[in-house]
Amino acid sequence: MPLVGLGTSPMGDDDAATAVASAIEVGYRLFDTAARYGNEKGVGQGLRAAGVPREELFVTSKLRGAQQGYASTRTAVEESLDRLGLDYLDLYLIHWPLPLRDLYVESYRAMLELAAEGLIRSVGVSNFLPAHIERLDRETRTLPAVNQIQLSPALCRIDSRDYHDANGIITQGWSPLGQDEKVPEAPIVTTLADKHGVTPAQIILRWAVQQGISVVPKSAQRERQATNLDLFSFELNAAEIAALTALDLGDEAAVDPELHEEF
């Protein structure tokens, strides 16, 4: 899985088709969508329009809360593949655990079966806490390949990342540039951007990928897509990484997966 991909929320089908085709032209190969986003058809159109061989692309989609459950998960995967126009997904995630519904384990079992059947290459989760993953491990004896979580210098999620690293799980960050925290405007970010001659977004994304964190920043603008992908021509030193990490507001500032509802 590439370290840097294109996030597609909250694009509609038309915008997603254009953005995905543009991103492929500038070098992206990882594309992140979800049933909940309502743009899988557009993402599929963009993938086909670019004319790049399927095996060169890495496509992720996610199970929406309304379709959690064993049988409905199998149906959801088939529906996502139909909308995308694909024969298989490289990665499929449970979008949110929704522990109050208590269906994520049986959904995960269905996903493991679909992986064995070849419809999914890798099975993962999104917004899961270590306790949720430990339950999956106890009941299925299979750890997820990826956990996609809200992550930026303002939400470093150190405990989750340590747990992932200890268990061979890839950490992937959504909203890697932050949200209301205004990370790109932080003085340390703008100072480092001036020092390295790059954009604030590049500083933030470099902070992540240099630590082995995969990111899926979203942009429909070709120029911004290109700069978000151009992260390997400069390097942050240890002190700079630490200074950015010091922006951390703590996990309590993130959306709470125990309570968040997504359908």
Type of residue at 158 = I
Q: What are phi and psi of 140, to 5 degrees?
A: -125, -10
Q: Residue 171, CB half-sphere, CA atoms under 13 Å: how many? A: 26
Burial class (CB in 10 A: 0-12, 13-18, 19+), 98: buried
Cα–Cα dist 63/138, whole Å:
21
DSSP 3-state assignment of 15? Answer: helix
122 DSSP β-pair partners: 91
Cα–Cα dist 64/81, whole Å:
14
Instruction: Clarify whether 37 is annotated catalytic.
Output: yes
Helix axes 222-229, 13-26, angle to 10 degrees: 50
Burial class (CB in 10 A: 0-12, 13-18, 19+), 108: buried
Catalytically annotated residue among 28, 37, 92, 163: 37
Cα–Cα dist 152/149, whole Å:
10
Q: Which residues are catalytic?
A: 37
